[in-house]
Amino acid sequence: MLRLSVVVAAQDAGRHLQACLAVLVPQVSSTGMEVIVADGSGSAGSGLTIEFPEVRFLNVSGHPTVPRLWSAGIEAARGSIVCLTIENCAPAPNWIASLLSAHEAKWPGIGGAIELDPNAGLVDTAVYFCRYSSYILPFSPRFLEDIPGDNCSYKREALEPVRDLMMDGFWETFIHQDMRRRGEQLLSDPSSVVVFTGGLSAWRFFKRRYVHGRYFAARRGRDFTLPQRLVRAVAFPAVFAMLFQRISGRVWRNARHRTRLAMTIPLVGCFLMAWAVGEASGYLAGASAAAAPLRD
């Protein structure tokens, strides 16, 4: 078995993937480690297979979501440590070394920090706040209920008990929930850093927030009665308010990006409302929404 596998989920397999691999591949030694790109673009890496012959490219058909790409990559991975990221994140130059050092401890799952590209535009900045406000530097090592799927790593033995949960994709929220239920702790390590480089249009991210919110609620609501689901559906404005309060509070306390937050409040609000309405739709639709194929 190899020492470490890195799985990169790539829905577009374009210039952002190229930038990610340019930083990542030199960190992976020729022996004992591997990089796997789970490519959902249908373009077989758009020529990147030639530029990066060390990388294994998996062609995953059907316009898959990022969680489905991750699950395909995890299935193919041969490392005793499995690391996950996406093409829209560029690892820091010491990312692999930090992960290997962190996994010398007993913790089964370890996540890191996600920083914002200094040159990010308004849309990318708003996406960053919606996705990663919990993981902005600086912070001390800490245990969290959820570590970021776009910068996380697991000991292989920790993934075996959740293999059935990955049949519908590696949805980290539900995976981590199951791990915590079994008494496992998830470490957030600030020394493991990736930089979010962006690349999604406002409309594409808006649609993705709606689709993922709908799926989240439908899957979460499998054990709820119809009245319980209806209560949660009509409470979607409260979900929006709670999410906005959490994100703005984290960014404001951190103090590094206050101006950027103020500039992107309308976009952040639109994205959060898409999620909240998606949740309402998912609760109303019930289990059928969780079973339907996702397109984002």
pTM of the model: 0.94
Q: Is 117 exposed, middle or buried (0-12, 13-18, 19+ CB in 10 A)?
A: middle
pLDDT tens digit sequence for 195-210: 999 999 999 999 999 9
Rounded Cα distance, 166 and 152, in Å: 16
For the ranges 197-201, 250-254, 282-286, the lowest mean pLDDT is seen at 282-286
Best-predicted range by mean pLDDT (18-32, 40-54, 108-122): 108-122
Contact (CB, 8 A) for 103 and 25: no
pLDDT at 236 over 60: yes
Q: Which pair of structure tokens corresponds to residue 97?
A: 């070394």
Contact (CB, 8 A) for 275 and 209: yes
186 bridge partner residues: 109, 144
Q: Which pair of structure tokens corresponds to residue 272?
A: 């959060």
Q: Which pair of structure tokens corresponds to residue 126?
A: 């708003």
Best-predicted range by mean pLDDT (44-48, 172-176, 219-223): 172-176
